[in-house]
Structure 1
Amino acid sequence: MKKIFLLCFLSLGVLFAQNSKDILIIHSYHKGYKWSDDISKVIEKNFLDKENIFVSSVYMDTKRVDSPEYLNTFYHYYQERFKHYTFDVVIAVDNSALAFVKEHYEELFSKKTPIVFVGINNFEPSLIEGIKNISGVVENVDIEKNIDLMISLQPNLDKILIINEKTITGDAVRKEIDAVSPKYESRIEIEHIDSMDMDEIASKTAGLSKNSAILWVLLFKDKTGRFFTYKDNLQQIRKITNTPIYGLWDFYLDYGIVGGFLTSATAQAEAACKIVEQILAGKDPSHVPIVQKSPNRYLFDYNELINHQIDPSPVLKNYEVINKPFSFYEEYKHYIWLFTAIFSAIVMIILFLMQNVRIRKQSEMALKNQLEFIKVLLDTIPNPIYFTNVEGKYIGSNMAFAKLYDQSKEEIIGKSVFDFFPKEWASERRKSDVELLAKKGSDTLELMLHIPKKRACLFTLSKAVYSNIDGSVGGIVCIMDDMTERVQQQQFLIQQSKLTEMGEMIAGVAHQWNEPLVELSAIMQDMEFCFNNGEMDRVKMKEFVRDAIIQIQYMSQTLKDFRNFLKPSTKKTLFCAKKALNEVLEIIGRQIFYAHIDLSVIYLKEDDSFPVYGFENEFKQVLINVINNAKIKLVKAHKGGKISIEVDREMFYTKIVISDDGGFIPEKIIGFIFDPYFTTNKNGTGLGLYMAKMIIEDKMGGSIRVQNRDVSTVEFTILVPNANKGNE
């Protein structure tokens, strides 16, 4: 059992060892140097808290000593210390460390060991030549942005003193300063010093005017070789002068600089950690892009800003300030704003709910008033109105509908058409309603309703499908219009109009009978003459009888046409306009002839049948009314004249154009000639053209219009359907 336990323990140890990750940080400078310490803190914070990741650090201390002998000694020290270690990632901090790694890469590391550099100044591809598995973060100071910032914060600035040192980093910064200085030489004086001892620097800064500023680059050694810490030298100068001091690195903050667009050790380390995380996750370092733009940011010291009365807020939008005194608002402003936002939101919600309740109460009251108004309105309307649900049950009606069935509105609710009419008839109505619900449309139809204990009535039903708020079909609403008396009145007016024309037509019949009667008289005289002379035989007798019968049949046909005209049509049929017009001219043609009026009829399509779908006798009456109207006007205007009739067939309509040259109709009355009882004829009734419009437009679904074609010609255009469109 002990052997098994030991074997499991060893297996777990091997597995743990295989899964662990080792990171080595090689610092160019020494422990205690703030730049290096800040980078270490960020890296350790990111990785030490994670399981199976170990971080080791070594310091080259090149700020204080960087001779070849020392670097060679450091190489042997490294070789001996880590000869039994293999690192998963090596982080080279600053240029000296990267140069050391490049020089001894093959001797100290595996060729596959990933290298991540950070804080590298004046980066060039030659700095990493020969290392394939490498990526990192470039460090750049931005001299131009810092000078622009100094000019913006101090509008009266006339001189900038730049304090630097003679090192690799200092020389690199000097090149950038020399590159941008010409841009400012006409505006301010820029003086660069990098070869003075501390006493000379102190004397130089003490003599600066109030419109000057210092740009602190680096000063770890003066020209005598005297070494300073990063804070001692700056604090020494800060005590001598009250001139604002700006910097390029964030580790000088809190030791005398106002601030600036600073290269941040923290930002550099954070960017490097992201690269290391990708490598540890298995990504090839050569495929991780090098961060070429240094992650610099605007940082300031609150105490120095107050001391020099500098306010960056008008110049910058995004910046950070350290050493700000405790402010409850500044410390907890996110919570304050969150609380304020939540409180404001709650207040707004409460106000919204209160307003919503008030609006709902107003809406409920308005809805009740509206419903009461609609109820009164519906009960006031004389037309029966009802509405049903999708099952065909009545769910509401007005008083007129309930009265129609001799019931109350409450008794109507819940019933259906089957409760009032025979099952077969009710089934047809229900079937049509179901089809209408499926189409979600509207429909108009005429129905003869035989309500028990009441006379049959003709109703026009206008139905429409209504929807619920959720979009579902609610049912059907129907408005009923009692057409019984109206139809009877229209029929009466039609017959009255016919009777008005009877005088003219009787005269026509008399004219038509005149010749047959003369012919019959002559036949009788010939018969008597032949009989007296003994010439009458069977053949002669048959001839006389035949001729007499022809004249009698002609007179009989005239009476038949007259009788047909007086008889109203009961339903629409398909008939020929040419035949109808010929029959009309048989009745009134002789009157026109005896009035010395030239009548011409032109059929624009000789082989066409010119079909009309409608009421044949009523259509004939329209033709008689319009032609007689033209005849009366021509007789009244002068002797003779001309009436032209053109018949044509279009796609959906048959077209009849009737024109006369009896003079134009004045514009002030042409719009009224179809109105009932409007007439310019002393003995006229004013019903002829009104009935013509009612028959053509209301009963047959066509149109009739009038216009002055020129100063002497008036034209009536009649369009009537030439087929049943399926609406009947």
Structure 2
Amino acid sequence: MARFNLLFLLFITIFIEANAQDKKSIFVLHSYSQEYSWTKLQHDNFVSKLQTSSPSALDISVEYLDTKRLQLSPEYETFFRSYLEEKFKGVSPDAIYVTDDNALNFFLHQKRPLFAASPIFFSGINNLSLETKLDKSRYTGVYETKDIVPNIELIRQFSPQTRDIWIVGDDSTTYHSIETDIRAHIHQYPKYTFHFLSSKRIDDITARLPNSPKTFVLLTTIGGWSDANRDNFTLQESIAILKQNKNLILCSMEDAYVQGGVVGGFVTSGANQGSHAAELVLRHFKGESVNTIRSITKSPNVYMFDRSALMESRLILSEYIAHDSIILHEKKSFFERYQQNILNAIFILFIFFLLFLLIVFLISLQKNAHIKILEKELKECSDEVVLQKEKLTLLEAVNE
């Protein structure tokens, strides 16, 4: 018995050690808070993709810089580094995942590398110039580009007479990267006047926006807007404040903003950013070295629209764009609304039909068996009649 217990303990120890060796640890650093929609979309889809596709168990640790509320100053960076060094002393993650520019810059600003042996994967990075500067042996990921051209084309389709487009943002590092990229493309549209408005205060923005009918506004990044007391607004609150001006038609360049009456547009996709970054991590976990895993420089953007907002603004999508778009709050057909109930009913009817066929078959078998018995009895009776007839004929012959 003692020998059995010893062998059992040895087996358990080996099993635990094998699992521990197979487990992959990932350190995650987000630029913004855990409840910021854009961050949440990236994180949830990153984790979901890994959990469904990784052959290894995962140990994920998550931290947030929260730079929509706090400036990424040298003092804050020093404090946060000390905090991480103390909390993760002796830890060397198998991979690091960062979202958005501030989190990546936090690692780039370190004179002495943090988690020096760990490769860094990123998503939501607006600064495309980094692609030629990053150390390819340690950094790879997914870039984010707010694509202005499809959105200008959308506005031209929605309102051919429009000539002014207002581009607004929160004056953050991300906003300025987006503005630089947009300015590089707008020369293609000399007939339009582009108005760039950026501020950390939302009242500065609303005061400068026009109050004329059908004013098209493109939202770039707005998560950093605050009030006079420097208290941050949620996305819902910011959008509600903008919507107080009934003449504004709010278009979005980010999927997290398609809510509260925002029409939508050709948007960056937090879901795609996170899942694509996870695919790069999975390739590394399967044995590829980081310097062979090329970054995704073409932002995985999608068309996304809110049906209610489109109707409220009296805008019509072309069939070509609508076909490949994500339509939120789309009115579903009767079948789409009750699809599961209909399929369940069809399945139940099919089962009853099979049962009916089985019963008919069994009755048929029973009838056939009964008919065969009757036929046998009839034949026996017939044979008996023939026999009796033969006997009667013989008796008549004897009597004669």
User: 1:533-572 residue pairs with structure 2 within 5 A?
Assistant: none
Q: How many residues get paired?
A: 336
Which runs of 5 or more residues in structure 2 are unaligned? 343-400
Could you tell me how far apart the structure 2 residues matched to 1:254 and 1:306 are? 14
Structure 2 equivalent of residue 422 of structure 1: none
Structure 1 equivalent of residue 218 of structure 2: 215
Question: Structure 1 residues 85 and 319, CA, compared in 2 at 3 Å: closer, same or farther?
Answer: same
**Bigger Rg, structure 1 or 2:** 1
Question: Structure 1 residues 240 and 137, CA, compared in 2 at 3 Å: closer, same or farther?
Answer: same
Structure 2 equivalent of residue 10 of structure 1: 13
Structure 1 equivalent of residue 252 of structure 2: 247
User: 1:335-350 residue pairs with structure 2 within 5 A?
Assistant: none
Q: CA deviation at 1:80?
A: 1.1
Structure 2 equivalent of residue 391 of structure 1: none
Query: Structure 2: which amino acid aligns with 1:84?
Result: G
Q: TM-score, normalised by structure 1?
A: 0.43
Query: Structure 2: which amino acid aligns with 1:42?
Result: N
Two-structure CA RMSD over aligned residues (Å): 2.8
Could you tell me how far apart the structure 1 residues matched to 2:303 and 2:339 are? 21
Structure 2 equivalent of residue 238 of structure 1: 243
User: 1:114-125 residue pairs with structure 2 within 5 A?
Assistant: 114-125=119-130
Could you tell me how far apart the structure 2 residues matched to 1:171 and 1:36 are? 19
Could you tell me how far apart the structure 1 residues matched to 2:148 and 2:100 are? 19
- The answer on whether the counterparts of 1:258 and 1:304 sit within 8 Å (CA) in structure 2 is yes
Match of 1:244, SS state, is: strand
Question: Structure 1 residues 196 and 53, CA, compared in 2 at 3 Å: closer, same or farther?
Answer: closer
- Cα deviation per residue 1:238-259 (whole Å; 9 max; x = unaligned)? 1222421101110001233100
- The answer on whether the counterparts of 1:115 and 1:135 sit within 8 Å (CA) in structure 2 is yes
1:70 paired residue among 50, 73, 76: 76
Residue identity over aligned pairs, in percent, reads: 27
Q: CA deviation at 1:42?
A: 0.8
Could you tell me how far apart the structure 1 residues matched to 2:187 and 2:130 are? 28
Query: Structure 1: which amino acid aligns with 2:197?
Result: I
Could you tell me how far apart the structure 2 residues matched to 1:114 and 1:302 are? 42
Could you tell me how far apart the structure 2 residues matched to 1:126 and 1:294 are? 13
Give the structure, 1 or 2, with the largest relative contact order (CA under 8 Å, sep 6 or more). 2
Structure 2 equivalent of residue 311 of structure 1: 316
Structure 2 equivalent of residue 86 of structure 1: 92
Query: Structure 2: which amino acid aligns with 1:154?
Result: S
Structure 1 equivalent of residue 354 of structure 2: none
Question: Structure 1 residues 201 and 132, CA, compared in 2 at 3 Å: closer, same or farther?
Answer: same
Match of 1:25, SS state, is: strand
Could you tell me how far apart the structure 1 residues matched to 2:136 and 2:111 are? 8
Q: CA deviation at 1:91?
A: 0.7
Could you tell me how far apart the structure 1 residues matched to 2:145 and 2:243 are? 26
Q: CA deviation at 1:226?
A: 5.0
1:100 paired to 2:103: no
Structure 2 equivalent of residue 279 of structure 1: 284
Question: Structure 1 residues 272 and 335, CA, compared in 2 at 3 Å: closer, same or farther?
Answer: farther
User: 1:335-414 residue pairs with structure 2 within 5 A?
Assistant: none
1:135 paired to 2:140: yes
1:37 paired residue among 40, 52, 66: 40
- Cα deviation per residue 1:30-51 (whole Å; 9 max; x = unaligned)? 1111111111111222234565
Q: CA deviation at 1:159?
A: 2.1
Could you tell me how far apart the structure 2 residues matched to 1:80 and 1:247 are? 41
Could you tell me how far apart the structure 1 residues matched to 2:185 and 2:297 are? 20
Could you tell me how far apart the structure 1 residues matched to 2:338 and 2:94 are? 42
Which runs of 5 or more residues in structure 1 are unaligned? 337-728
- Cα deviation per residue 1:527-551 (whole Å; 9 max; x = unaligned)? xxxxxxxxxxxxxxxxxxxxxxxxx
Question: Structure 1 residues 128 and 89, CA, compared in 2 at 3 Å: closer, same or farther?
Answer: farther
Match of 2:98, SS state, is: strand
Structure 2 equivalent of residue 180 of structure 1: 185
Question: Structure 1 residues 280 and 332, CA, compared in 2 at 3 Å: closer, same or farther?
Answer: farther
Query: Structure 2: which amino acid aligns with 1:221?
Result: W
**Which runs of 4 or more aligned residues in structure 1 lie more than 6 Å from their structure 2 counterparts after TM superposition?**
332-336
- Cα deviation per residue 1:246-296 (whole Å; 9 max; x = unaligned)? 011100012331001000100111111111111111111211121110000
Match of 2:76, SS state, is: helix
1:145 paired residue among 145, 150, 155: 150
